[in-house]
Chains A and B, each alone.
Chain A
């Protein structure tokens, strides 16, 4: 049953999707769904009802965003873990989320509109990883992986310090709460237009990962082994880092910082399908999408107000990680 587990994962995703569409603070009837569907295929039945608006313009984009964010973060996490041959690596290893956070809080400090905040977050994420890569490339003669990781730690710490500085400069009554919420992640205000921008970027990052899936898998054997198999390690690594960073930065720009998904989901996927990157990547992305759908459903249902996603993923993620450590089984490699 080589594909059995994928059928299962797909089934779980469909279930989570239906659940995500059905559950939320605004009670929806089946009629609202029918109205929205009719309008989508061109039947005009008068002014939209509030229920129809909630379904078509609120719930649907939110559910789609949940899948996109979960899949992208889990996919990027899988890629980084394979690339660095280390199960403790998360998508933020090279500082992409911290850099995006810095861009976003700078946007909030400058009182930019939402699109400006998202744009700065995206650029901040890309710029941070770019800087890390340049630093690592400049430091020749060291272990490449080590230099990259250390560069990520250093630049990430620097960006974190800048975020703290912005917090001090921010208006404590107005901007500071907004910064705090952004750094904890939420899908509450995602719109269709955001998805139309982000989805192509995620896809652009995903395509090279799929095309080069065999070679990326070979990278996990080690640089020398990969080289002896005819892989251009240097260029492939640059491409893979760029692709995974693009995926992470574009989703983080609309969702805010959501931790743990990119660390935890690849682990579960690895237990299900093993370490082979060609199977691990799709499994991880399917699982990430389902997980984020469920977490986001909880985020809008636990209380009248939104519970930040970063809190929920950490509450679910931290115990899981401890369990993983306690279990002590080597699922790696």
Chain B
């Protein structure tokens, strides 16, 4: 296993390939050469793209998948028009190495799980392209430290510090206020138009719900959690008191279905649509965009502990992280269905 305690910066150890520059190292003791001044950076996957966009949008050379039409208005003008380069994450790769080389990045990085598989994939890409390829631990608990390390590598330490502080403040606030919550809420995550696809407890798709103090009713059996299909009977047996979905089709249709009507969360009108613009609040991708989701879900589950208006908090988050100003109507669209009794239901 690779050390997980500190931030992990994997080195692919190919000293011959890198030009003169700094060495970056990590707890594993491996080292990688990165240029003194990083000017063109490629994000290997969607999670890395969000982190890169938040910290240094001017350094981006492209997106793993270009922003969709409805997302464009929430992304800075310079960044929203960047080309689509494809994914290099090692699973379902769509990026062509020639396209990568043509984009002339002087650094590639991925933000996610640091397993031997991903480490060796990164090493292969680095060997083939001669471009330094960093792997940064994207685990939720390491977010702040990973952001600071990434800021150092990219030469944007001050910006990274501001973002990391926000993350730490949010985490601290959640921990403090959740300390004496008497009864934890039971949450079901509904995906897909029929609402019957969910993320098991412990999966990267739902960890934000659990971190915000909710109990994911879809407990995992053995091993790692992932995405699974369940039956509506099982949902009734779990009897969740809150349902969070990100599927607008499901959100529009569940109320008309008498079977869903028997679920306690539906009876209590506690079904919420997770915002997805420009990046998801609970997943999609599982990157630092989820920090606002943490605060949002905690507020949904324990409103007496988190009485603040989510609108103001969302606006502050969007201004700090995505560096755009949103109008009231734009904010309405982002938050449609996300508030108790709010618009969109």
What is A's interface to B at a CB cutoff of 8 Å?
Answer: 24-27, 48, 50, 53-54, 57-59, 62, 111-114, 117, 167-168, 171-174, 176-178, 181, 186, 188-189, 300, 303-306, 308
Nearest B residue to A167, CB-CB: B92
| CA of A62 to CA of B259, assembled, Å | 13
**Across the two chains, which residue of chain A brings its CB closest to B45?**
A172
A331 to B154, CA, bound (A): 71
Closest-by-CB residue of A relative to B284 is A173
CA distance A59 to B205 in the complex (A): 29
**Are the CB atoms of A50 and B262 closer together than 8 Å?**
yes
Asked if B259 contacts A57 (CB within 8 A), the reply is: yes
- Which among B196, B200, B249 is the interface contact of A113 at CB below 8 angstroms? B249
What would be 21 A-B contacts, judged by CB atoms less than 8 Å apart? Answer: A24-B231, A25-B233, A26-B236, A26-B237, A57-B258, A57-B259, A58-B233, A59-B233, A114-B193, A117-B193, A167-B92, A172-B92, A173-B283, A174-B191, A174-B246, A178-B197, A188-B230, A303-B221, A305-B234, A306-B196, A306-B230
Given contacts A305-B200, A305-B230, whether A178 and B221 have CB atoms under 8 Å apart is no
Whether B191 and A53, one on each chain, are in contact in the complex, defined by CB atoms closer than 8 angstroms, is no
**CB within 8 Å of A: which of B179-223?**
191-194, 196-198, 200, 205, 218-219, 221
Q: In the docked arrangement, what's the CA distance between A25 and B217, Å?
A: 14
Q: Is the CB of B233 within 8 A of A181?
A: no
B229's partner among A112, A172, A188 (CB-CB below 8 A) is A188
B residues in contact (CB < 8 Å) with A: 46, 87, 92, 94, 191-194, 196-198, 200, 205, 218-219, 221, 227-234, 236-237, 246-249, 253, 258-259, 262, 280, 283-286
Output the nearest chain A residue to B261 by Cβ-Cβ distance. Answer: A53
Residues of A within 8 A of B232 (CB): 58, 188-189
Interchain CB contact under 8 A, A58 and B259: yes
| A304 to B197 CA separation, bound complex (whole angstroms) | 13
Query: Which among A24, A48, A172 is the interface contact of B233 at CB below 8 angstroms?
Result: A24
For A305, the chain B residues whose CB sits under 8 A away are 198, 200, 218, 228-230, 234
Q: Which residues of A contact B92 (CB under 8 A)?
A: 167-168, 172, 176
- A-B pair count, CB < 8 Å, reads 103
Residue of A nearest to B285 (CB): A173
CB neighbours of B193 from chain A (8 A): 111-114, 117
Residues of B within 8 A of A173 (CB): 46, 205, 280, 283-286
Which of A27, A117, A178 has the largest count of B CB atoms less than 10 A from its CB? A178
Nearest-neighbour CB distance to chain A for B254, whole angstroms, equals: 12
B46 surroundings in chain A (CB, below 8 A): 172-173
- Taking A57-B258, A181-B229 as known contacts, 8 extra A-B pairs with beta carbons closer than 8 A to each other, sorted by chain A number, are A25-B237, A50-B262, A53-B258, A172-B92, A173-B46, A173-B286, A181-B197, A188-B232
The closest CB in chain A to the CB of B222 belongs to A303
Could you tell me the dominant secondary structure of chain B's interface residues? loop
In angstroms, Cα B218 to Cα A307, docked, is 14
Q: Are B280 and A58 in contact (CB under 8 A)?
A: no
Residue of A nearest to B280 (CB): A173
Q: Are B284 and A174 in contact (CB under 8 A)?
A: yes
- A27: chain B residues within 8 A (beta carbon): 237
Smallest CB gap from A27: residue in B? B237
Which of A167, A188, A304 has a CB less than 8 Å from the CB of B218? A304
A303 CA to B286 CA, complexed, in Å: 26
Which residues of chain A are near B227, meaning CB under 8 Å? Answer: 177
Cα–Cα distance between A111 and B198 once the two chains are bound (Å): 17
Contacts of B219 in A (CB 8 A): 304
Neighbouring A residues of B218 by C-beta, 8 Å:
304-305
Residues A189 and B194 in contact, CB atoms below 8 Å apart: yes
A306 and B231 contact, CB distance less than 8 A = yes
Residues of A within 8 A of B286 (CB): 173
Are B233 and A304 interface neighbours, CB within 8 A? Answer: no
The 4 closest A-B pairs by CB, nearest first: A305-B228, A26-B233, A173-B284, A188-B231
How far apart are the CA atoms of A111 and B192 in the complex, in Å? 9
Expressed in whole angstroms, the Cα–Cα distance for A186 and B205 within the complex equals: 22
Which residues of B lie under 8 Å from residue A171 when comparing CB positions? Answer: 284
Nearest A residue to B252, CB-CB: A113
User: A113 to B253, Cβ gap below 8 A?
Assistant: yes
Kindly provide the distance from the CB of B107 to the nearest chain A CB, expressed in whole angstroms. 23
Contact partners of B258 in chain A: CB under 8 A: 48, 53, 57
Which residues does chain B contribute within 8 Å of A181, judged by CB atoms?
A: 197, 229
